[in-house]
Amino acid sequence: MEMPERPQTTETPAPAYRLEAIYLYPIKSLGGIALSEAKLQRRGLQYDRRWMLVNVEGQFVSQREYPALAQLGTALHNGDLVVFEKQNPQTRLRISLTPPAALPQTMVQVWGDRCRAHLYGREVNEWFSDFLKAPVRLVFMPDSTLRRADGRYAPPRTPVSFADGFPYLIIGQASLDDLNRRLPQPVPMSRFRPNFVFSGGQPYEEDHWGRFCIGNAQFLAVKPCARCVVVTTDQDSGARSAEPLRTLATYRQKGHRILFGQNAVWTGEGDATVRIGMSLTKRC
């Protein structure tokens, strides 16, 4: 007696996610650095937004007020942080990645947070002030300063650098591709200043992620990222236009906020490194 054949079932394979890019922004609101690998820390990638420019009152400044900051690039070289004018790379400033212990302390303001920072001297501050044609000062966040991410979304006592709100920002390439199909002129990912870019999956699915892993490193997605005028700033020239914020407002607005990308925290401890090409997994 012949046994009937079992009906064949086809299972839809789970989408493959891959880490495609890693970006570091040593000085808040200046140009970023594309890396092939990076060391994870609780407050963000190593060196990420540990430096910041402030005005004479100690209030942080950014591309919101000074779009020309986009014209300043950064690089890591032989233990130094190099800052340079993108239009004139020979005009550059070098500062050590290990700031001198003798730097004086000062209080600075980042949104609603006041925290202690180390203040650089006249030569460094004049370099930035001459470029912006406005008096600014460079500060550094030491390990002893513990600024906390918003506890309404992040786990309690999550540290954060001088980033706007959270240690990490991740965006799917599919999300940018979908946006660019709606724009009269496409924009690069640099407009959105992510730390991680991944391939695979559907546009904007990172909005709904919870726990996810890059390799073996565990992260928690905590809050979609609200966008401001910075995304309308060309990250090479500093020129501004209405896009892509105008188009995003037509389909990515929730309440009074326009959302693009997902904020995240690393929930691991000790030493961990992420590299381009690592797989991403959800609900790991």
What local confidence, expressed as pLDDT, does residue 5 receive?
Answer: 52
What local confidence, expressed as pLDDT, does residue 283 receive?
Answer: 81
Domains of the chain in start order, with CATH, are: 17-282 (2.40.33.20)
What local confidence, expressed as pLDDT, does residue 186 receive?
Answer: 98
In the chain, which residues have pLDDT < 50?
1-4, 6-7, 9
What local confidence, expressed as pLDDT, does residue 3 receive?
Answer: 44
Distance CA 56, CA 108 (A): 10
Residue matched to tokens 């691991």: 268
* Nearest alpha-carbon partner for 109 in 150, 41, 56: 56
Q: How many CB atoms lie within 10 A of CB 18?
A: 15
What local confidence, expressed as pLDDT, does residue 276 receive?
Answer: 98
- Vertex 18 angle, CA 165 and 262, to 5°: 20
pLDDT digits (tens, 9 = 90+) for 31-80: 999 999 999 999 999 999 999 999 999 999 999 999 999 999 999 999 99
